[in-house]
Amino acid sequence: MSDDKERLAAWMMREGFATGHGDTAEQLLGELSWQVAEIKARRDELLEALEKMVRLFEPGRVYDFREVSALSSEALHVATTALTRASN
């Protein structure tokens, strides 16, 4: 069992996950579980922001410069907000 724990801990560190204070494989899996949940939550926030950005522009519509500038600013704000929340 100790060999499994060591292999799991090595994999976690190699893949960029923290091992915390996991002394057993079960504790390491607990550490991994909450970190994966955090990644999924951040992914969902970023996908939502991307969907908002895509909806800003209507397919087939011709935009003038002022409209593109305003929509680009709004899209940048949406993306920046999502990335800021995701990095915290």
Q: In the predicted model, what is the mean pLDDT of residues 10-37?
A: 93
Check: CB of residue 78 under 8 Å from CB of residue 52: yes
* The total number of structural domains that make up the chain: 1
Summarised one tens digit per residue, pLDDT across range 50-85 is 787 777 767 777 777 777 777 777 777 777 777 777
Give the span between the Cα atoms of 28 and 6, in whole angstroms. 10
Is the full-model pTM beyond 0.85?
A: no
